[in-house]
Structure 1
Amino acid sequence: MRRSITRTLTAIAAGVVALGMAFAGGATANATPPAKGQSSITINGNGQDLINRTFEAYRVIDITDVATGADGSESYTLEIDSAYRNQVRATAQEVLNTAADATDAAVVNKISGMNADETRSFAEKLVKELDTANQTATVSSDKFGSERMNKQATGLDAGWYLVRETTAASSTPNATTGNAPLSLFMMKGGQNINITVKSDVPTSHKKIVNDDYSNPRDADDFQTNENITYRLTFDIPSNWKTQYKDGFYFTMHDKLSAGLDYVEDPVIKVADNEDSITNAVDWDKSAQGYGYTPEFSKSKDGKTVEWKFATAGTETSDTTNRKANLKLAGKTVVVYYKAKMNASAKIASTGGNGNTYQVYYQHNPGNAADGYDHTTPETPYVYTYQFIVVKQDGDNTDTKLSGAKFKLYSDKSATKEVAVSSLANGVYTVEPSGTAVLTTGTDGKITVNGLDSGTYYLKETKAPSGYKLDDTVRKVTVTPNSEVANAKNGDAITYKVNGDSNHTMTINNYKGSLPSTGGMGIVLMVVAGVLLIAGGMISIMRRRA
Structure 2
Amino acid sequence: MKMKKFAALAAATIMTVSAVAATSTFSVFATEPAENSIVIKDSVDGREYVAYQIFDRTSAVDSINWGEGIDGVSLLADDLTNESSQYYNAKFVGVTDAAGVAKVMTSDDWTASDSQLFAKALEKHVIPAHANRSYYDQGQGEYKISIYKAGYYVVIDNKTYVGDDEARSAFILKVVSGETDVTSKVGKPTLTKEIKHNEYGDNSWGTVGDNQIGDDVEFRIKTTIPSEVQYYDKYTYTIHDQLSEGFDLNENSLKYVYLDKDDVPVTGVTYTPVFDNNAIEKKFDVKFNIKALLAQNPNIAKIETYYSAKLNGNANVAVKATNNTDNNPNTAYLTYSNNPQDESGKEDGRTPDSKVYDWTFTLVGNKIDGQTRDRLAGAQFQLKDETGNVLKLVATGTRNEYRIATGSDTATITTITTDDLGVFYIKGIDDSVKYTLVEAKAPDEYNKASDTKFWLNTKDGDDIGYSKDGGTLNRLQIAKGDYSDKDANVGLTIENNKGGKLPSTGGIGTQIFYGVGGAIVVGAGVLLITKKRAKKD
Q: Tell me, yes or no, whether TM beats 0.5.
A: yes
Identify the residue that residue 164 of structure 1 maps to in structure 2: 156
**Given the alignment, which residue of 424, 428, 435 partners 2:402?**
428
Rounded to whole Å, the distance in 1 between the matches of 2:160 and 2:391 is 53
Deviation of the 1:226 alpha carbon: 0.6
The answer to whether the Cα contact below 8 Å between 1:427 and 1:447 also exists between their aligned partners in 2 is yes
Q: CA deviation at 1:408?
A: 0.7
Matched, 1:139 2:120: no
For the 8 Å contact 2:213–2:406, the answer to whether it is kept is: no
Aligned to 1:61: 54
The 8 Å contact of residues 171 and 372 in structure 1, kept in 2 or not, is answered as yes
State the secondary structure of the residue aligned to 1:124.
helix
- Measure, in 1, the Cα distance between the counterparts of 2:279 and 2:58: 67
Q: Which residue of 2 aligns with 1:488?
A: 468
Native 8 Å contact 2:459 2:465 kept in 1: no
1:253 aligns with 2:240: yes
CA pair 146-140 structure 1, distance change in 2 beyond 3 A: farther
Give matches, 1:182-331, under 5 Å. 182-188=171-177, 191-197=178-184, 202-209=189-196, 215-238=204-227, 240=229, 242-244=230-232, 246-273=233-260, 275-276=262-263, 280=265, 286-290=267-271, 293-310=272-289, 322-331=291-300
Match of 2:315 among 331, 334, 344: 344
1:43 counterpart letter in structure 2: I
Structure 2: how far apart are the matches of 1:253 and 1:108? 46
- Residue 336 of structure 2 corresponds to residue 361 of structure 1: yes
The Cα offsets for residues 144-189 of structure 1, whole Å up to 9 and x where unpaired, read as 44456322222543343221234543528x9xx966642123324x
Answering whether residue 426 of structure 2 is matched by residue 456 of structure 1, we say: no
Measure how far apart 1:505 and its partner are. Answer: 1.5
Q: What residue is the counterpart of 1:154 in the other structure?
A: 146
* CA apart distance, 1:121: 0.9
| Contact 2:466 2:475 (8 Å CA) reproduced | no
Secondary structure, counterpart of 1:380 in structure 2: strand
Structure 1 position 209, deviation (Å): 4.1
Greater radius of gyration (CA): 2
Does 2:120 align with 1:124? yes
What is the count of residue pairs matched by the alignment? 459
Per the alignment, do residues 237 and 103 of structure 1 end up closer, same or farther by CA in structure 2, a change over 3 Å counting? closer
Deviation of 1:451 (Å): 1.2
2:41 paired residue among 29, 39, 44: 44
User: Which residue in the other structure is 1:380 paired with?
Assistant: 356
Other-structure match for 2:422: 444
Q: Is the 8 A contact 2:133 2:145 kept in 1?
A: no
Distance 1:393 1:308, change over 3 A: same
CA-CA distance at 1:329 after TM superposition: 3.8
Q: Do the aligned partners of 1:393 and 1:508 also contact (CA within 8 Å) in 2?
A: yes
CA contact (8 A) 2:466 2:473 kept: no
Distance 2:262 2:354 in 1: 19
Contact residue 51 and residue 147 of structure 1 kept, 8 A: no
**SS of residue matched to 1:454:** coil
Distance 2:174 2:137 in 1: 21
The TM-score normalised by the length of structure 1 is: 0.70
Matched residue, 1:534 = none
Shift of 1:417: 0.7
Name the CA shift for 1:327/1:446 in 2 (closer, same or farther; >3 Å): same
Q: 1:10 pairs with 21, 28, 34, which one?
A: 21
Q: Classify 1:6/1:505 alpha carbon distance in 2 versus 1 (closer, same or farther; 3 Å).
A: same
Counterpart CA distance in 2 for 1:202 and 1:420 is 45
The equivalent of 1:501 in structure 2 is: 487
**Structure 2 equivalent of residue 91 of structure 1:** 79
> In 1, are the aligned partners of 2:197 and 2:203 still within 8 Å (CA)?
yes
Rounded to whole Å, the distance in 2 between the matches of 1:88 and 1:505 is 81
Identity of aligned residues (%): 22
CA contact (8 A) 1:91 1:125 kept: yes
How far the C-alpha of 1:289 sits from its partner, in A, is: 4.1
Cα distance in 1 for residues equivalent to 2:155 and 2:213: 54
SS of the residue corresponding to residue 494 of structure 1 reads coil
Contact 2:362 2:427 in 1 (8 A): yes
- CA offset at residue 489 of structure 1? 0.3
Deviation for aligned residue 1:441: 5.8
Q: Secondary structure at the match of 2:20?
A: coil
Q: Cα 1:179–1:495, aligned 2, differ >3 Å: closer, same or farther?
A: closer
Distance verdict in 2 for CA 1:441–1:169, change over 3 Å: farther
Q: 1:360 to 1:506 in 2, by over 3 A?
A: same
Q: Which sections of structure 1, spanning at least 5 residues, go unmatched?
A: 22-30, 68-72, 311-320, 516-520, 529-545
1:102-117 equivalences under 5 Å are 104-105=97-98, 109=102, 113=106, 115=110, 116-117=112-113
Q: TM-score when scaled to structure 2? A: 0.70
Amino acid at match of 1:59: Y
